[in-house]
């Protein structure tokens, strides 16, 4: 690592921290801490959503997907683009939520159904979300370990994870959503520029035709996802595209920060392009890494991309890319930690307390929860063992929350007969997705793939919502 690269990294991270300190003075209530006061304009809202979704974890798992599935992995980005564009044009779900002036999906549960539904929904959201986030720290540490060429030992990995967590905790607690949004803005610009350079530099080194020829020699079906992964996997990707854009809390929180529903639609229309790019560019870099190394049998697929970049990128560009990646790491973690902690405070603790909690106390409670959640992801990242790809892991852990949330959210917004009992049954039904976790699958000797279990879980929760609402109707309907 050249001193110029290190200087770029240090200067950039220092500037980001300075922004966090400056933004701290703008936090005057819990709304500004959680959703930036719901006053964001279009450009900042778009780049914030893209910055959150273009994190280090995103780059890593998409590159790994490219390594494992080659060009057939591009369909994930294509579905993301189409689904996000349709949502932007139609305003499906997102505009109704913004018009209700809620700060989170569990808050919608409370307004549409009851406080019990809100608390259960928030509790399951946090369980799924924290399991989902549990491997983020480990992946970030592996990126640092690979790209800096540190020793590949567990002790080194643990030290890197602890240092990364400390940086993230300090930054997240300082400025809340306002700092997160500003970080997202700069991180998106820096990382986007860096990744685009990586693509063109890879093509320059490897050759455009050679990249395709090399992959075609390795795989008989490098372009067709139906042939390589099966129809259930492809259908699952459409569901995940909808979840990423609408149901996942970090994305919908960005939408709810917008000043009105009209701006939200524009936000999604513009964001759809980058939902395509954020999958395709890292996938392509992962494919280039396969072509570069040729024999990857003894190389960790997750570490392949950072090792490749550390070898091919020139001085200066390497520092820029690493700075962007580290900023992306911070952006994703502070977004997730802030999202989960404020939902616990706003949608679990305050309703259970039964009284209004002052903004100051809610902010302090959220900051304490951020520390607790940070310690949890450190523990989970150190001890979880599983060989599923990161993308498969994220999909099935997220399904613990979103399989029930899809049924309750869509049903609650568009079906008048949706009832409290139906909503609660659907939310609890989402726990069925736990079966898809690799250690549980192996323990129960289940031969189904994670995506198949996820689809069955979604079908189950929708059935619970439908039949539960018909058998136990709302009081108004019963009359």
Structure-derived torsion over alpha carbons of residues 149, 154, 159, 165, reported in degrees to the nearest 10: 100
- 299 pLDDT higher than 80: no
- Over 80: is that where the pLDDT of 82 sits? yes
Q: Is the pLDDT of residue 101 over 60?
A: yes
In angstroms, how far apart are the furthest CA atoms of the chain?
A: 75
Mean pLDDT throughout 218-224?
84
> Does residue 175 carry a pLDDT above 60?
no
Burial 417-455 (b: 16+ CB within 10 A, else e): ebbbbbbbbbbebbbbbbbbbbeebeeeeeeebbbbbbb
Average pLDDT over residues 414-430: 93
Confidence at residue 275, expressed as pLDDT on a 0 to 100 scale:
78
* 353-397 tens-digit pLDDT: 777 888 778 878 888 888 888 888 888 887 777 677 788 888 888
Question: Using an 8 Å Cβ cutoff, are 113 and 423 in contact?
Answer: yes
Is 228 a residue whose pLDDT tops 60?
yes
Secondary structure element (H or E) that encloses residue 476, with its range: helix 475-478
205 — pLDDT class (breaks 50, 70, 90): very high
In terms of average pLDDT, the best of 67-71, 161-165, 356-360 is 67-71
Lowest mean pLDDT among 4-8, 102-106, 315-319: 102-106
pLDDT confidence band for 37 (50 / 70 / 90)? very low
Q: Residue 139: pLDDT band by 50, 70, 90 thresholds?
A: confident
Please tell me the predicted confidence (pLDDT) of residue 361. 83
Question: How wide is the angle at C-alpha 310 spanned by C-alphas 162 and 289, nearest 5°?
Answer: 110
Residue 306 has pLDDT above 50, yes or no: yes
For the cut 70, the answer to whether the pLDDT of residue 409 exceeds it is: yes
Among 8-12, 109-113, 160-164, the range of highest mean pLDDT = 109-113
Span of 20-24, 91-95, 391-395, 408-412 with lowest mean pLDDT: 20-24
Decide: 446 and 438 in contact? Cβ < 8 Å. no
Looking at residue 85, its pLDDT comes to 92
End-to-end CA distance of the chain: give it in Å, rounded: 72
* Least confidently predicted of 2-16, 83-97, 176-190, 293-307: 176-190
Average pLDDT over residues 282-293: 92
CB 256 within 8 A of CB 47: no
Task: Read off the pLDDT of each residue in 270-278 and give the average, rounded to a whole number.
Answer: 80
Residue 427 has pLDDT above 90, yes or no: yes
pLDDT of residue 44 exceeding 60, the answer is no
d(CA 169, CA 398): 23
Q: How far apart are CA 281 and CA 304, in angstroms?
A: 15
Tokens 């058998």 label which residue?
471
Q: Looking at 13-22, 217-226, 285-294, 468-477, which range is the least confident one? A: 13-22
Q: Which residues 6+ apart lie within 8 Å of 237 measured at CB?
A: 75, 76, 79, 225
**Class of residue 42 by CB neighbours under 10 A (exposed 0-12, middle 13-18, buried 19+):** middle
HSE at residue 97, side-chain half, CA atoms within 13 A, is 32
Confidence at residue 182, expressed as pLDDT on a 0 to 100 scale? 64
User: Per-residue confidence at 210, pLDDT binned at 50, 70, 90?
Assistant: very high
- For residue 24, pLDDT over 80 is answered with no
Q: What integer best gives the mean pLDDT of the chain?
A: 82
- Which CB contacts under 8 angstroms, 24+ apart, belong to 39-42? 39/257, 39/259, 40/181, 40/257, 40/258, 40/259, 41/259, 41/263, 42/258, 42/263, 42/266, 42/267, 42/270
The pLDDT score that the predictor gives to residue 457 is 94
pTM of this prediction? 0.81
Look at residues 452, 76, 391, 93 and name the one whose alpha carbon lies nearest to residue 241.
76
Is 279 within 8 Å of 271 (Cβ atoms)? no
Q: How far apart are CA 277 and CA 394, in angstroms?
A: 19
pLDDT at res. 478: 40
pLDDT interval class at 467 (50, 70, 90)? very high
Q: Give the pLDDT band of residue 184 (cuts 50, 70, 90).
A: low
pLDDT at 36 (0 to 100): 45
List Cβ neighbours of 438 (8 Å cut-off, separation of 6 or more). 386, 387, 388, 393, 450
Secondary-structure percent of the chain, ordered helix, strand, coil, rounded to 5: 85, 0, 15
DSSP sequence for 146-189: HHTT----HHHHHHHHHHHHHHHHHHHHHHHHHHHHHHHHHHHH
Inform me whether the pLDDT recorded for 479 exceeds 50. no
In whole angstroms, what is the distance from residue 276 CA to residue 424 CA?
Answer: 34
Q: Are 232 and 451 in contact (CB under 8 A)?
A: yes
Judged against a pLDDT cut of 70, whether residue 346 lies above it is answered with yes
Query: CA separation (Å) from 106 to 119, 185, 474?
Result: 7, 27, 19
Other C-beta atoms closer than 10 Å to the C-beta of 38 total 16
Rounded mean pLDDT of 203-231? 88
The Cα–Cα gap between 285 and 318 comes to: 14
């Amino acid at each position: 690592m050249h001193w110029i690269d290190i200087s770029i990294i240090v200067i950039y991270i220092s500037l980001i921290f300075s922004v966090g300190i400056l933004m701290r003075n703008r936090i005057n209530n819990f709304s500004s801490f959680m959703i930036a006061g719901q006053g964001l304009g279009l450009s900042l809202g778009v780049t914030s959503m893209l910055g959150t979704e273009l994190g280090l974890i995103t780059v890593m798992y998409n590159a790994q997907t490219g390594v494992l599935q080659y060009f057939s992995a591009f369909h994930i980005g294509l579905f993301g683009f189409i689904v996000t564009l349709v949502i932007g044009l139609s305003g499906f779900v997102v505009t109704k939520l913004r018009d209700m002036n809620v700060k989170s999906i569990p808050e919608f549960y409370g307004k549409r159904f009851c406080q019990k539904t809100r608390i259960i929904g928030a509790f399951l959201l946090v369980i799924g979300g924290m399991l989902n986030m549990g491997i983020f720290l480990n992946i970030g540490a592996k990126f640092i370990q690979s790209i800096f060429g540190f020793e590949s030992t567990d002790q080194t990995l643990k030290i890197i994870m602890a240092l990364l967590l400390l940086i993230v905790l300090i930054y997240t607690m300082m400025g809340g959503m306002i700092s997160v949004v500003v970080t997202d803005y700069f991180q998106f610009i820096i990382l986007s520029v860096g990744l685009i350079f990586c693509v063109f530099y890879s093509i320059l080194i490897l050759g455009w035709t050679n990249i395709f020829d090399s992959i075609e020699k390795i795989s008989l079906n490098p372009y067709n996802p139906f042939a390589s992964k099966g129809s259930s996997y492809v259908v699952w990707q459409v569901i995940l595209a909808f979840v990423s854009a609408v149901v996942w809390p970090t994305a919908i929180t960005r939408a709810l920060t917008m000043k009105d529903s009209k701006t939200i639609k524009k936000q999604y229309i513009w964001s759809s392009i980058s939902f395509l790019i954020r999958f395709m560019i890292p996938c392509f870099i992962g494919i280039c890494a396969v072509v570069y190394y040729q024999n990857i049998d003894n190389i960790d697929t997750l570490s392949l991309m950072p090792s490749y970049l550390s070898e091919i990128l020139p001085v200066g560009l390497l520092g820029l890319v690493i700075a962007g990646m580290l900023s992306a790491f911070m952006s994703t973690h502070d977004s997730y930690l802030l999202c989960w902690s404020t939902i616990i405070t706003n949608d679990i603790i305050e309703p259970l307390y039964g009284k209004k909690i002052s903004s100051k106390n809610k902010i302090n409670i959220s900051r304490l929860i951020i520390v607790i959640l940070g310690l949890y992801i450190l523990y989970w990242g150190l001890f979880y063992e599983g060989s599923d790809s990161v993308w498969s892991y994220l999909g099935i852990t997220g399904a613990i929350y979103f399989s029930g949330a899809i049924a309750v959210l869509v049903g609650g917004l568009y079906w008048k007969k949706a009832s409290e009992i139906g909503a609660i049954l659907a939310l609890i039904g989402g726990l069925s997705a736990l079966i898809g976790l690799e250690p549980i699958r192996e323990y129960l000797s289940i031969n189904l793939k994670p995506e198949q279990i996820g689809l069955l879980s979604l079908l189950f929760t929708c059935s619970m919502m439908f039949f539960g609402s018909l058998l136990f109707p709302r009081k108004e309907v019963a009359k």
